[in-house]
A and B are shown apart, each in its own frame.
Chain A
Amino acid sequence: GNSVTQMEGPVTLSEEAFLTINCTYTATGYPSLFWYVQYPGEGLQLLLKATKADDKGSNKGFEATYRKETTSFHLEKGSVQVSDSAVYFCALNSGAGSYQLTFGKGTKLSVIP
């Protein structure tokens, strides 16, 4: 079956540090890959997505590249801000006709000034 594994948190970084949150997946077919973010007290929001191999999703300074050869979709940001403190979820949808998102367990990021 489908599964998503992302690095365990919590992750604590200083402002302006470089961020990487690792995500690897197992899926049948040709999945689409997503990063969702959950800010404190808010619902899940789509951060970025990629629908085919080698695509790069980007938003708000975050980016992730769909690597089929390594079945990975690592999230990166060059310079984090305090406002980026949130829980980040990697997820996949395994392809045409599929409607379920399979999520990783989430990684909590805390950015300190």
Chain B
Amino acid sequence: GAGVSQSPSNKVTEKGKDVELRCDPISGHTALYWYRQSLGQGLEFLIYFQGNSAPDKSGLPSDRFSAERTGGSVSTLTIQRTQQEDSAVYLCASSLVGTGSGNTIYFGEGSWLTVV
């Protein structure tokens, strides 16, 4: 597709349930990122994938969060045993290369997660 595609766009889940958020990056982009945007907190880096390298998981807030990227393309962010503080917009992004400071990162429209 023309841009980064994310699904679902909105998800309401009960506390304690697991959720999966999907990201389809721009075709040909080797780098994929997940960020979290919480109200009043700005954007928080979660995880980064680059090609076949081991992902950088340093931003994941707890072991309830995990992500995978299959075939170097689509990525899934999984949150287990959701808590109310997980409510946020989860943004996926991709870029053509993963290094170089002038690299432009393109964002999807986000998945709005509400935990009730």
Contact = CB atoms under 8 A, between A and B. Distances in A.
* Interface size bracket, B side: 20 to 34
Nearest to A101: B105
A18 interface: no
Contacts of B105: 46, 101
Contact of B101 (A95, A104, A106): A95
B42 A104 contact: yes
B48 A99 contact: yes
Interface in B1-51: 3-4, 31, 33, 35, 40-43, 45, 48, 50
A96 B105 CA distance: 15
Contacts of A31: 101
Interface residues on A, range: 20 to 34
Contacts of A70: none
A97 interface: yes
Interface in A89-113: 89, 91, 93-106
Nearest to A27: B101
B48 A100 contact: yes
A61 interface: no
Contacts of A96: 99-101
B45 to A, nearest CB: 5
Contact of A99 (B41, B50, B110): B50
A102 to B, nearest CB: 8
A103 B104 contact: no
A32 interface: yes
B48, B56, B102: residue with the most chain A Cβ atoms closer than 10 Å? B102
Interface of A: 30-32, 36, 42-46, 49, 51, 89, 91, 93-106
6 contacts: A43-B110, A93-B102, A97-B99, A100-B59, A103-B43, A104-B42
